[in-house]
Structure 1
Amino acid sequence: MAKLLETFPCVPSTERGRGILISGDPKSDTILYCNGRSVFIRSLRQPQDVHVYGEHGYAVTVARYSPNGEWIASADVSGTVRVWGTHNDFVLKNEFRVLAGRIDDLQWSFDGLRIVASGDGKGKSLVRSFAWDSGNTMGDFDGHSRRVLSCAFKPTRPFRIATCGEDFLVNFYDGPPFKFHSSHREHSNFVNCIRYSPDGTKFITVSSDKKGMIYDGKTGDKIGELASEDGHKGSIYAVSWSPDSKRVLTVSADKSAKVWEVAEDGTVGSVIKTLTFMESGGAEDMLVGCLWQNDHLITVSLGGTMSLFSADDMDKPPLLLSGHIKNVTSLAVLGANQKTILSCSYDGLIVKWLQGVGYSCKLQMKDTKIKRLAATESSIFLSGFDNKVWRIPLTDNEFGAAAHVDIGHQPLDISIAVDSPESTSLVSFDSGVVLLNGLNILSKIDLGFAVAASVISPDGKEAIVGGQDGKLHIYSVSGDNSLKEEAVLEKHRGALTVIRYSPDLTMFASGDANREAVVWDRETKQVKLNNMLFHTARINCLAWSPNSTMVATGSIDTCVIVYEVDKPASSRITVRNAHLGGVNAVGFIDDCTVASSGEDASVRLWHIEPQ
């Protein structure tokens, strides 16, 4: 039996030069954001309380709660909107093809009966309003010639819809059925976001021209704008109103977030607070999304970090929620029962997580794509796609300066002899292996066959190298750092993908691209656990429990399977749909807790109860 303990979720997908949308439910204090094909539902009171909806067939762009909080409408790049329940396992209510292209924004009417969506499409089909239950169209939306980036429903009667987009226009429609009323061209660049005040008296637009315009909510006439004094110095990507309709929060490419007080008559908005951030100095600090929900001010950076400020005390340092944006390729658990997990993603981001706490700290490797990670208590070793092996010192809550060595080949696998005096590491490449002491190359050995996976024993005296032909080559490592072949094992029918020693060193396990895993007795070289053939696709990863009694495997088939070594493989424990898109890494935190990560850019912890 397996039970989900915690999810360390990814952060919202971001795109340079574009704003992103996050939304929330003020009643439950949860927020919605999108990454890949998933919608993440996250509590602001307990950020580790995370639920994931992953039923879209394409990348999701926006999700919003219905006014009563019972339903969520989410939209994707194919132009599809799905309406599903917030309870009862996210039961699907309806699915509609709304636009011919990407949907960029979506809003419910205040009565919860209508939805408006805007985005890209063909011809005039850039905005559409429809009934949430039948999909029937409610009016025509002429007036835009290019992608419509944002839309807003007036939250009070009479019904109104306002839209804005890449044609620099702000359009206003009345209804239902909705029809074109008026158009405004006060902006001189992309109009990125449009939002009605909660009381419905005004709406505001923000643009890449660094300006914000305020309009009458009923007539659509322009009535004012945000003051240029203390204003933004870069494109404004998003705006959100305070619950009392008196203030707005804006975020910009100038890496700042500002709180404005809007005059009662809407004629002017004045800066009353500029929020401060810990900057790394890079483009990832640009702010691309925001939300004012109850007493929370939330901003999202291009790097995906969400900063939670208190509306009552804006000088208080924000709570930071961070994580991966891209798929997690590898993870490592530090020490027995240390509850510390390191994960790395393809885009060069390393994140440190703590069980029961979540995000701790991160390090962004510049211009480096990471494939594998191995770690000791004091150092992290990384291999990428650029012939380099990196070493990063690790202290309590921070990463040291990274250094690297070029091994002349693209690394495939990396493992560390943690108990050897020199902490020797073994790095495999397409035709051989490299032995390293720190970042010093001890030897480079061509093995004469196509290498696929490798591992070095904790004492550094033995290495196992798996080939593309499915054979396992066992070598002894001599004092002069040369390898002597001791045995060749044949059982696999596909290329080896992973090999790992058991912690007690009496066994090792291997997995292949043909979905099979094998546990071997180290002394006799005989198969100890056979018929581990329960994945339906390539095995990507494998890990042992600290007490050497269980093996966990993860596969591209989205499953994690846990086997007990002393029981038949048929008594396995299977975690289905552990990670949408596939499982890339697994590791045991303790004898009954497995960490996994994958294509959904998240890390999850599972409690395993042997049968």
Structure 2
Amino acid sequence: MADLLETLACVPSTERGRGILISGDPKSDSIIYCNGRAVIIRRLGAPMCVSIYGEHAHQTTVARFSPNGEWIASADVSGMVRIWGRHGDRALKSEFRVLSGRIDDLQWSPDSQRIVVSGDGKGKCFVRAFMWDSGTNIGEFDGHSKRVLSCDFKPTRPFRIVTCGEDFILNFYEGPPFKFKQSHRDHSNFVNCVRYSPDGSKFISVSSDKKGIIFDGKSGDKLGELSMQEVHKGSIYAVSWSPNSKKALTVSADKTAKVWDILDDGNGKLNCTLACPVSGGVDDMLIGCLWHGDHLVTVSLGGMISIFSASDPQKPPTSFSGHMKSINALSCLLQSDQITILTTSYDGTIVRWIPGIGYGGKIHRKENTQIKCFSATEGELLTSGFDNKVHRLSLNESHCGEAEPVDVGFQPNNLHFILKCPDLALVSTDSGIIILRGTEVASTLNLGYAVTASAVSPDGSEAIVGGQDGKLHIYVIEAATLKEETVLQKHRGAITAIQYSPDASMFASADANREAVVWDRASQEVKLKNMLYHTARINCLAWSPDNRLVATGSLDTCVIVYDVDRAASSRTTIKGAHLGGVYGLAFSEENTIVSAGEDACVRVWRLSHER
């Protein structure tokens, strides 16, 4: 058995030049947002309290709790809306293909009976409203000629719907059944977001023309604007109202978030500007916001989520981030008597996590290049991407010192420190092995076969290189050279992962044909075989600190843990560990395993002693 201890969640998917949507649970402090094919629910008061819904077949775009708190409606880029239970087994209530393209916004009616969506109708229908249980249309939504970026339901009767989009138009509909009432052309650029106040008396539209315009909620007539003397200096991407309908929060590409007092005459006066965390780049642009209870939530382009107190907005916020893209590597280190988890993703992000605490910061590098593979020790980090360069970084608690990158001439597929001589590192490429001494190439060995994986023993005396042909080549490391000792043949597919046990008495290997093998290092005989329980290629391996357990992570989304002293059939399987596949594994303690995968999340599992 394996119990999930915690999920270190991904952040919302973002796109430059577009706002994103996060919404709140009317019954709790939970928020909901989308990343990849997943819908993520997490509590503002306890950000590590996370649950994930992964039943969409396509990339998700928006999700919202129903006003009664019982259901969630989520939508994706294919135009599909899924309505599922908020609690328990999250049973699917209904599923409808509502638009012919991407859905950009979705909103429930206040009685939780109707849903309106807007998005890209591919030249046909850009907005639809329907009954939540039957999918029956409840109106006609003419008046837009381009993608509709935002829509909203008036939260009080009589019901109204407002929409806005890339045609610079805001439309107002009365119903149900809903019919076009009037258009407003007050904006001169994309209208990115429109939101009704909780009491239904007003709604605000915000635009890339840097304007915020306030309208009467019932008639749709224009009332006023946010003060132009104090307004944002960049595109405004999102707006959210306070619970008492007297204030509003806006965020902008100018990297600021502003709180506005909405006056009785329908104009907006600046109340304060929030001091949002900045790193100095375009990633600081703010593209999403939510006013939820006493929480003011902002989201940056780089995925930084900041939570301010509405009652004390000048108080420094609680901020956390994470990965936005698939995690491709993971390592557990002991730093200052504290277990630290390091993860990397293809977009060049390196994140430090602290078990039990969560997000511990990002490691910033001189060149924010893509990362294909990495290797870590307590004090150093090696990374490489698709530019044939290997970066060597010195790590500590507060900063990252980086030497000039080494161009090895080929694209690395594995990196390893040679611990008996810390300034040496082994780099495997598709055609051979390169030994680095510091930031210089010490030797290059063309192996004459296609290399797919490699490993270096903990004592630094030996290396194993796996090939496309399924063979394992064992080399003795002498100074900065390799000498082939033997070749092992057992696998029937390309080698995908190799890992020595911590005491170096064994090693494990895995292949693309979904098989893993544990070998005795001294005799070079198979110690544990028939590890053939995955249904797709194995991507990663990990050993427990006591050399007793070996774990495999696969494209089939599962993690399987084996006891090397027992038959492979007495395994522990963690099903559905990561949506899209498992790409990183490491043991943090003897019975605690950390996994990461395509869903951009990290999970910590506790294995029971009953095996």
Letter in structure 2 aligned against 1:154? K
Separation in structure 1 between the aligned mates of residue 556 and residue 7 of structure 2, nearest angstrom: 19
Q: State which drifts further: 171-180 or 121-130.
A: 121-130
**Who is 1:509 aligned against?**
508
Q: Is the 8 A contact 1:414 1:425 kept in 2?
A: yes
Q: Is the 8 A contact 1:560 1:576 kept in 2?
A: yes
**Who is 1:385 aligned against?**
386
Partner secondary structure for residue 569 of structure 2: helix
Separation in structure 1 between the aligned mates of residue 374 and residue 269 of structure 2, nearest angstrom: 49
Question: Quick check: 1:415 aligned with 2:390?
Answer: no
Deviations along 1:488-513, one digit per CA (max 9) or x if unpaired, are: 10000111111111001100110111
Separation in structure 1 between the aligned mates of residue 92 and residue 200 of structure 2, nearest angstrom: 31
Q: Is the 8 A contact 2:493 2:511 kept in 1?
A: yes
Partner secondary structure for residue 206 of structure 2: strand
Q: Is the 8 A contact 2:342 2:353 kept in 1?
A: yes
- Tell me the CA shift for residue 357 of structure 1: 0.3
Q: Is the 8 A contact 1:416 1:458 kept in 2?
A: no
**Who is 1:447 aligned against?**
447
Equivalent positions of 1:256-267 (< 5 A) are 256-266=256-266
**Who is 2:309 aligned against?**
310
Partner secondary structure for residue 469 of structure 2: coil
**Who is 1:295 aligned against?**
294
Separation in structure 1 between the aligned mates of residue 139 and residue 431 of structure 2, nearest angstrom: 64
Q: Is the 8 A contact 1:360 1:397 kept in 2?
A: no
**Who is 1:49 aligned against?**
49
Deviations along 1:76-97, one digit per CA (max 9) or x if unpaired, are: 1111110000112111000011
Separation in structure 2 between the aligned mates of residue 223 and residue 509 of structure 1, nearest angstrom: 70
Q: State which drifts further: 284-293 or 370-379.
A: 370-379
Separation in structure 2 between the aligned mates of residue 302 and residue 422 of structure 1, nearest angstrom: 38
Task: Count how many residue pairs are aligned between Structure 1 and Structure 2.
Answer: 608
Q: Is the 8 A contact 1:516 1:539 kept in 2?
A: yes
Letter in structure 2 aligned against 1:85? G
Q: Is the 8 A contact 2:494 2:512 kept in 1?
A: yes
Deviations along 1:252-289, one digit per CA (max 9) or x if unpaired, are: 011111111110231x1011111112322111110000
- Tell me the CA shift for residue 431 of structure 1: 1.2
Deviations along 1:388-407, one digit per CA (max 9) or x if unpaired, are: 11111111243233531111
Q: Is the 8 A contact 1:541 1:553 kept in 2?
A: yes
Letter in structure 2 aligned against 1:526? E
Deviations along 1:221-257, one digit per CA (max 9) or x if unpaired, are: 0010001112100000000000010110000011111
Q: Is the 8 A contact 2:459 2:504 kept in 1?
A: no
Q: State which drifts further: 72-81 or 442-451.
A: 442-451
Question: Quick check: 1:361 aligned with 2:365?
Answer: no
Deviations along 1:479-538, one digit per CA (max 9) or x if unpaired, are: 3x2211111100001111111110011001101111110000000000000000111111
Question: Quick check: 1:211 aligned with 2:228?
Answer: no
TM-score (norm 1): 0.98
Q: State which drifts further: 377-386 or 184-193.
A: 377-386
Equivalent positions of 1:431-446 (< 5 A) are 431-446=431-446
Q: Is the 8 A contact 2:403 2:439 kept in 1?
A: no
- Tell me the CA shift for residue 543 of structure 1: 0.6
TM-score (norm 2): 0.98
Q: Is the 8 A contact 1:84 1:93 kept in 2?
A: yes
Separation in structure 1 between the aligned mates of residue 344 and residue 180 of structure 2, nearest angstrom: 50
**Who is 1:329 aligned against?**
328
Separation in structure 2 between the aligned mates of residue 58 and residue 81 of structure 1, nearest angstrom: 11
**Who is 1:541 aligned against?**
540
- Tell me the CA shift for residue 437 of structure 1: 2.7
- Tell me the CA shift for residue 446 of structure 1: 1.1
Deviations along 1:431-468, one digit per CA (max 9) or x if unpaired, are: 11111233232211111211111111122211111111
- Tell me the CA shift for residue 476 of structure 1: 0.7
**Who is 1:115 aligned against?**
115
**Who is 1:6 aligned against?**
6
Separation in structure 2 between the aligned mates of residue 379 and residue 37 of structure 1, nearest angstrom: 34
Partner secondary structure for residue 401 of structure 2: coil
Separation in structure 1 between the aligned mates of residue 346 and residue 482 of structure 2, nearest angstrom: 32
Separation in structure 2 between the aligned mates of residue 165 and residue 278 of structure 1, nearest angstrom: 29
Partner secondary structure for residue 400 of structure 1: strand
Among all aligned residue pairs of Structure 1 and Structure 2, give the percentage whose two residues are the same amino acid.
64
Q: 1:505 to 1:249 in 2, by over 3 A?
A: same
- Tell me the CA shift for residue 211 of structure 1: 0.1
- Tell me the CA shift for residue 367 of structure 1: 4.6
Letter in structure 1 aligned against 2:298? T
Q: Is the 8 A contact 1:361 1:398 kept in 2?
A: no
Letter in structure 2 aligned against 1:190? F
Gaps of 5+ in 1: none
Gaps of 5+ in 2: none
Deviations along 1:1-58, one digit per CA (max 9) or x if unpaired, are: 1111110110000000000000011321100000000000001111000000000011
- Tell me the CA shift for residue 124 of structure 1: 4.3
Partner secondary structure for residue 402 of structure 2: coil
Output the aligned Cα RMSD: 1.2
**Who is 2:517 aligned against?**
518
Separation in structure 2 between the aligned mates of residue 493 and residue 302 of structure 1, nearest angstrom: 45
**Who is 1:350 aligned against?**
350
Separation in structure 2 between the aligned mates of residue 57 and residue 149 of structure 1, nearest angstrom: 22
Partner secondary structure for residue 537 of structure 1: coil
Letter in structure 2 aligned against 1:512? D
Separation in structure 1 between the aligned mates of residue 319 and residue 20 of structure 2, nearest angstrom: 18
Q: 1:530 to 1:338 in 2, by over 3 A?
A: farther
**Who is 1:75 aligned against?**
75
Separation in structure 2 between the aligned mates of residue 413 and residue 150 of structure 1, nearest angstrom: 45
**Who is 2:279 aligned against?**
280
Q: Is the 8 A contact 1:232 1:252 kept in 2?
A: yes
- Tell me the CA shift for residue 140 of structure 1: 0.5
Question: Quick check: 1:376 aligned with 2:377?
Answer: yes
**Who is 2:603 aligned against?**
604
Letter in structure 2 aligned against 1:12? P
Q: Is the 8 A contact 1:348 1:364 kept in 2?
A: no
